[in-house]
Amino acid sequence: MTDGGPLVGRGLIVTPSGRRTPVLRDLDFSVEGGEILGLLGRSGSGKSTLLRVINGLTPWFVQAEVTGDIELGGEPVDDLDPGQRAHLMGSCLDRPDGQLFLPTPRQELAAATRLYGEAWDQGHIEERLGVGPLLDRRIVDLSSGERQRVALAAALLAAPRPVVLDEPTAHLDGGGAAALSEALADASASGSAVIAAEHSGWRLDSVVSRWVKLQGGRLVRAESPDPPAFSTPDHQPGDRRVLEAHGLSVRAGNRRLFEPIDLELREGEIVVLSGDNGVGKSTLARVMAGHLSPDAGSCRVSGARPPALMMPEAELQLFASTVEGELRACGAPIGEVARVLRRHRLEALAARTPWSLSRGERQRLVHAAHDVLQPEVLIIDEPAQGLDAEDVIDFMELVVRRAARGRAYVIITHRTELAAAAHRHYRLSTAGLEEVTR
């Protein structure tokens, strides 16, 4: 089997285990060598399922009934398991933690080079994605965005073989998304057929050859996606301070992540906090929520309960056996459960186990759980993970409505367009916290 060449699927019908109806219905696709196909679709429409069928994770590891054919360079790969297909194509999953196993990025990239051979210059992709400074750090010490860069670099070392990417910009800051576009252009020039499933498609639009959308289990042509638009909240924050941080500083190992910061959050206020990968945003979130102690300074809350923290990894915050059970475990009565399920577009999933949901569906479920818990202060780390543009708009509209009733929010995100729906926008850097003017 040769490197590069078209990646083709014919008549794919995929019915996940435990479901009566297929997610993919007689689906066909074809991606030529050198082409970058952008894949859109609402959360739960089957984008990740399609990519897992291509790389063999479904049905070999993710149980499902699969019929149809996958061909690479004119040769079938249906009988090859994921380990055998791994030599023929690169894959980056929607969670970098799910595919990084070695202690350091240097070892991960060396393993990818052994897997694919010297098809593409490792130093080139390291420079493109800014992985060089991370090579000898421990994977477990990297931020989610830094791990994403490493996972993408390992996958793109497969070029000129085909590459499938699931939400590749999810954890990336603006510079990382731009660097990924350049790396994808290089992969395309080498002859790779690339499929990128992406909810934030506008971040890659400059390099994508054409867009398609998963709708009703089949692919249809789609226009270039636009970012969602938001309006500034109509209400003003109250006078009462619900969170106060003074001289706050945090260390990672022997280095201080950022200069001491001050931050005040008022009742009913929405604050967006952005910054580069690895600067310490998620660490700051855990400190403000009381999960970590700062190295210097203080963080105080005025309410009886500490702030609630919604982490970017939804699966770490789900414990019940069903979607409905998750909300009931939060104390919601039956009537309220039904209303919250409808509000978060989960009513059809009430009897499903959370582990069978798509990434976006799990994210919506965690949103719903916090909606039931009604914390006075909610800190949300990357709320748009796995959410399509419509879901992000719905979520931010709900945030504004809840804030108007007195709830305060700190939203940590690389999606800086969300700042349009906030009262204030701050950028965190090694120099500290700086307010971004509108």
> Looking at beta carbons, which pairs linking 132-140 to residues 24 or more positions away fall under 8 Å?
134/105, 135/104, 135/105, 135/106, 135/109, 136/104, 136/105, 136/106, 137/104, 137/105, 138/103, 138/104, 139/100, 139/102, 139/103, 139/104, 139/105, 139/108
**Angle, helices 334-343/359-373, rounded to nearest 10 degrees:** 130
Last residue of a domain, one of 189, 222, 255: 222
Kindly state the average pLDDT of the residues 370-381: 94
Last residue of a domain, one of 222, 252, 279: 222
Residues 142 and 276 in one domain: no
Contact 357, 314 (CB under 8 A): no
**DSSP readout, 189-202?**
HHT--EEEE-SSGG
Contact 107, 140 (CB under 8 A): no
Residues 267 and 128 in one domain: no
Domain annotation covers residue 364: yes
Residues 85 and 212 in one domain: yes
Domain annotation covers residue 1: no
Percent of the chain whose predicted confidence (pLDDT) is above 70: 99
Kindly state the average pLDDT of the residues 20-24: 93
Please list, residue by residue across 70-108, b when 16 or more beta carbons sit within 10 angstroms of its beta carbon and e when fewer do.
bbbbeeebeebeeeebbebbbbbbbbbeeebeeebbbeb
Q: Is residue 3 very low, low, confident or very high in pLDDT (cuts 50, 70, 90)?
A: low
Using CB atoms within 10 Å of the CB of residue 41, give its burial: 0 to 12 exposed, 13 to 18 middle, 19+ buried.
Answer: buried
**What tokens does 379 get?**
């800190």
Q: Is residue 4 very low, low, confident or very high in pLDDT (cuts 50, 70, 90)?
A: low
Contact 432, 260 (CB under 8 A): yes
Residues 196 and 54 in one domain: yes
Residues 316 and 253 in one domain: yes
Domain annotation covers residue 227: no
pLDDT in tens, 71-98: 999 999 999 999 999 999 999 988 888 8
Residues 72 and 210 in one domain: yes
Residues 41 and 141 in one domain: yes
Residues 198 and 267 in one domain: no
Residues 203 and 324 in one domain: no
Domain annotation covers residue 228: no
Residues 270 and 215 in one domain: no
**Angle, helices 144-156/174-190, rounded to nearest 10 degrees:** 10
**What tokens does 386 get?**
């796995």
Cα separation, 118 vs 113, in Å, equals 6
Domain annotation covers residue 156: yes
Q: Is residue 356 very low, low, confident or very high in pLDDT (cuts 50, 70, 90)?
A: confident
Residues 176 and 256 in one domain: no
Contacts of 206 (CB under 8 A, 6+ apart): 181
Domain annotation covers residue 233: no
Q: What is the pLDDT of residue 401?
A: 94
**Domains identified in the chain, total number:** 2
**Containing structural domain, residue 416:** 241-435
pLDDT in tens, 215-272: 999 999 999 999 999 989 999 999 999 999 999 998 887 788 999 999 999 999 999 9
Domain annotation covers residue 97: yes
Q: What is the pLDDT of residue 122?
A: 79
Kindly state the average pLDDT of the residues 314-340: 92
Torsion of CA 155, 161, 164, 167, to 10 degrees: 50
Q: What is the pLDDT of residue 151?
A: 97
Q: What is the pLDDT of residue 119?
A: 61
Last residue of a domain, one of 222, 249, 283: 222
Domain annotation covers residue 231: no
CATH of residue 278's domain is 3.40.50.300
Q: What is the pLDDT of residue 255?
A: 82
Using CB atoms within 10 Å of the CB of residue 317, give its burial: 0 to 12 exposed, 13 to 18 middle, 19+ buried.
Answer: middle
Residues 194 and 135 in one domain: yes
Give the total residue count for the chain. Answer: 438
Q: How many C-beta neighbours within 10 Å does residue 17 have? A: 11
Q: Is residue 335 very low, low, confident or very high in pLDDT (cuts 50, 70, 90)?
A: confident
